[in-house]
A and B are shown apart, each in its own frame.
Chain A
Amino acid sequence: MRRMIVVGRPNVGKTLFCLSFAEFLGMQSVNMNFVSCDRGCTSRTISLSEAKTLLAGQREHQTLDLQSMILTLPWGKGRKQFELIDTTGLADSIDFEPHIRKAMAHTLQCMRQADVIFHILDCSQVARLGFLKGIGEIDCQIAEFGQLKKGYVILANKIDLPYAAEGLERIIMEFPGHKVIGISALTKSGFKEVKEIARKFV
């Protein structure tokens, strides 16, 4: 089973993307595995609407566990399973909090083992703060790392927000040679194309 991992800086919308994408693929609830780096693994079945209010949020580092779920995609005459993993936001600076550093290390570990990387950027940030503040060195490093994988796609998120289109344009310009899809985890715009890509790698 292919393992697809969702990475990016804190608060770019990784969690909301995962949950909305599961919804887009026709799920109402998912069995979510929470894999913590030190507290082991717990699992619970949760409705997607509840998960959205519970797990996605304004706070940076809302997500500190790896949250994985098994989803399916149409494949040939039947369907094929894959694992979608939500991760802790990766930041440019070294965090003061040991548990956050640990969670980021855990994310890196998981990135190494993944087959496909969905790299989420925030278009609205780029539009609002300019390229360098809206995107970090970390994003360029993730993009480079992504080339080692079977699949690597940039999802330029929050395209629904004002001026995000400009941000998307800049992202496309700055990541030549990479597939960039403009999406909104909120409105699910662009998800059809994400699904097509996922089908290619599943």
Chain B
Amino acid sequence: MSREIITMVENGEVTVSEALSLLRKVGMGSDQPKQEPARNERIAAIKQQLDSLIGLHSVKELINEIQAFVEIQQRRAAFNLAADPIVLHSIFMGNPGTGKTTVARIIGQLFLEMGVLQKGHLVEVERADLVAEYIGQTAQRTREQLRRASGGILFIDEAYSLARGGEKDFGKEAIDTIVKTMEDQRSNLVVILAGYSAPMEDFLETNPGLRSRFPIIIRFPDYTTFELFRIAEQMLQQREYQLSKAARRKLLAMIEELKRTDSVNFGNARTIRNIIEKAIRKQAVRLVNLNSPTRAQLMEIAAEDLQEVRDD
């Protein structure tokens, strides 16, 4: 297989970049993982899933550490050695579209396989799912979500919005209810507070009790130009489309330009998704009046199909 790819380079059928990306998929052949017991194999498969996410190096590294830590604490416990209590409640900070939910979902699966959680599912909520308008109802509503999440992960998006509105606001009631349940249900629920970095830092500052209850902080960096490009490529590949040579160049230039001019809001995969979806529609319009477009034409996104998408 790898021979054929290399011959394609020789024949000028693919660029070296394309060849490298193909070779990567074929793998190295030599370092095949050894046969492992089923549990380890499943854990390895989940970590493989994590590794295959584009970018997010620091996130992957941290999750590796957490996994190793949990594993060792479990083994220490088996030898009756003093084992630290495993507290996995976390804070995810980063711009929207930087992979927080995806990573949370994978962590759920990981903890399930490791025996930390019984179900490992993800319940995503925001302020409105927790906070009610009338006195006394918030605790009830919050408990309902906590019940749904039991055995898995409660993922609270823009968690700082719970602190919005000051002392009288019922958001505080939601926080108190969550913290209380975290304490009671020690081992069978993981709570993740997610959101933009700056307001999250403020939130933690004004609620000093939270920091110690959420000992794991994972920061999600903005994607780099190439990472965004590869995300686009991956999205297209999954949909069985392909960029033409000119389109590759144009897309890279577009990403670079977006990053340069809009660095505060850009750096996320969502804009890329919009660009790709738009391009797919543009391509359709371009091809719809052709008599019988070929398979290759149906697959190819041309440079002209790529257009700026306003993110609003």
Contact = CB atoms under 8 A, between A and B. Distances in A.
B24 A144 contact: yes
Interface stretch (B122-130, B153-161, B222-230): B222-230
Contact of A141 (B9, B10, B17, B252): B17
Contact of A174 (B9, B19, B24, B224): B224
A176 B58 contact: yes
B20 A131 contact: no
Contact of A92 (B15, B23, B31): B15
A136 B252 CA distance: 10
Contacts of A176: 55, 57-58, 221, 224
Contacts of B208: none
B27 A102 contact: no
Q: Which interface class (under 10, 10 to 19, 20 to 34, 35 or more) fits A?
A: 20 to 34
Nearest to B233: A137
B226 A174 contact: yes
A112 B6 CA distance: 10
Contacts of A24: none
Nearest to A178: B57
A186 B14 CA distance: 34
B33 interface: no
Contacts of B245: 93
B9 A104 contact: yes
A177 B9 CA distance: 29
B221 A144 contact: no
A88 to B, nearest CB: 10
Given A105-B9, A132-B256, A176-B57, A112 B23 contact: yes
B17 A92 contact: yes
B23 A137 contact: no
Contacts of A95: 12
B252 A137 contact: yes
Given A148-B27, A174-B225, A93 B15 contact: yes
B6 A105 contact: yes
Contacts of B20: 108, 138, 141-142, 144-145
11 contacts: A92-B16, A98-B12, A108-B5, A141-B16, A143-B226, A145-B20, A145-B24, A176-B224, A177-B58, A177-B61, A178-B57
Interface of A: 90-95, 98, 101-102, 104-105, 108-109, 112, 130-132, 136-138, 140-145, 148, 173-178
Interface of B: 2, 5-7, 9-12, 14-17, 19-21, 23-24, 27-28, 31, 55, 57-58, 60-61, 221, 224-226, 229-230, 245, 248, 252-253, 256
Closest 7 A-B residue pairs measured CB to CB?
A177-B57, A140-B226, A141-B20, A105-B9, A105-B10, A141-B17, A90-B16
